[in-house]
Structure 1
Amino acid sequence: MSTQTPGLRESKKRETRQLISDHATRLFLRQGFEATTISDIADAARVAKKTVTNYFPRKEDLAFDHHEEFTAGLARALTGRAPGETALAALRRAFLGAAARQDPVAGFAGADFTRMIADSPTLTTRLRDLHDLREEALAHALAEATGAPGDDITPRAAAAQLAAAHRVLFRRIQELTLAGRAPGEITALVSADATTVFGLLEPSLGDYAPA
């Protein structure tokens, strides 16, 4: 029987998970995602392969360690909007805040990590899947926020447009990163781009789903 308290066990689990993630990232950057095996990661972290897969069922999860935060991000921004704030305004504010913080979840992952994604067909495909999951979560949140019936396509259509704006800006951050632009310069450029991108949605979604 374990003598560890629940809090200590959870702390130990978090430490182990972070250790595995850190070693995986180091190996991915050094030798490429496709060339790195679960055995390589387990050996580097000095844990069993089963331990790695218990924490990270998919190898891609080791690269996109914050995938749950990413997929829930737009829905969370919607539910956290201020009274009277529309969905478009809330999501624009969330993006600008992430750009100002140079948040890795928004795409500010650094040149080496961004290049690793671009060079890996597996990670590129997984990133598209995560964008789709993020859009789906936003559609559910919009349907709940507006009380739309199940057969109403409006929340899905709105989510597709709003998520596409974030997808375009995410890709823009990646492109600027790979072009060697400094993080501060990228923030300034994508913040200006955001004005254009979200402005295009104003005629159709400017008054949609106020809190």
Structure 2
Amino acid sequence: MTTEANSSASPSASPPGLRESKKQQTRQLISDVATGLFLSQGFEQTTIADIAAAARVAKKTVTNYFPRKEDLALDHQDAFIASLAGTLAGRRPGTPALAALRDAFVEAAEAANPVAGFSGPAFARMIADSPTLSTRLRDLHDLREAALADALADATGTPRGDVTPRTAAALLGAVHRTLFRRIQELTLAGEDNARISAVVTAEADTAFGLLEPSLADYAPA
């Protein structure tokens, strides 16, 4: 499972300089090599030294780009953390938070977006078999929920840390966690992405629908 959708550069963005381009290539090389090793021999069994040797770089180079080994496996975590708050920022005027997040999830599921939990069986198995990665994934869900709480507070003019946006974020975050876990379960059961998308899209309607009595009109844009 990777935790970020592929992003494209803005048309107005200037191309990176040679030094920056080289750094990006090195980072991607290390990430690709690490992923291959994790999938072939397991996350817990793979060391930073193994990755450095396979990528033909120094161990310090690996840790400069990826301070923790988990970062090598979940190397798109920043986009994952920001995804729900980003949905609120990009919604149409007047759209409540619940409707925006439900629509965004359905769109992500139909596209088999990695941020929603689509990762392929090998990666899903690697996560499931690693206590370290499973714990880190829970942390990322917590961080995503916290970012959503801040976004809801800002959208409603409520102080950050207030119980109302935090509670709303917890409820919305719980639905996303449940559907994410469901995608992982179906992936490990051998279902293909088309089947998984169909199942979780239908289940999302039920899951988000449970929140309508309390959140249907909450935090409109």
Question: So what's the TM-score if we normalise by structure 1?
Answer: 0.96
Of the three residues 100, 107, 112, the one matched with 2:122 is 112
Is the contact between residue 105 and residue 116 of structure 2 (CA under 8 Å) also seen in structure 1? yes
Q: Is 1:189 paired with 2:214?
A: no
Aligned to 1:165: 175
Residue matched to 2:109: 99
SS in 2 for 1:209: coil
Q: TM-score, normalised by structure 2?
A: 0.91
Cα offset, 1:151, TM superposition: 5.7
Return the offset for 1:11.
1.2
Residue 46 of structure 1 corresponds to 56
Q: Quote the residue 1:147 is aligned against.
A: 157
Task: Structure 2 unaligned segments of length 5 or more: list them.
Answer: 1-14
In the alignment, is residue 123 of structure 1 matched against residue 133 of structure 2?
yes
Moved over 3 A (4+): none
- Give CA deviations for 1:30-52 in whole Å, capped at 9, x if unaligned: 00000000000011111111110
Note the alpha carbon deviations across 1:20-78, whole angstroms, 9 max, x for none.
Answer: 00000000000000000000001111111111001101100000011001011000001
Q: Distance in 2 between matches of 1:86 and 1:8?
A: 44
Could you tell me how far apart the structure 2 residues matched to 1:122 and 1:6 are? 34
Q: CA RMSD in A?
A: 1.1
The counterpart of 2:45, out of the listed 35, 43, 48, is 35
Unaligned runs of 5+ in 1: none
> Any conservation in 1 of the 2:150–2:160 contact (CA below 8 Å)?
no
Q: Secondary structure at the match of 2:61?
A: helix
CA pair 72-48 structure 1, distance change in 2 beyond 3 A? same
**How many residues align structurally?**
207
> What amino acid does structure 2 have at the position aligned with 1:11?
S
Shift of 1:149: 2.6
Q: 1:207 aligns with which of 201, 204, 217?
A: 217
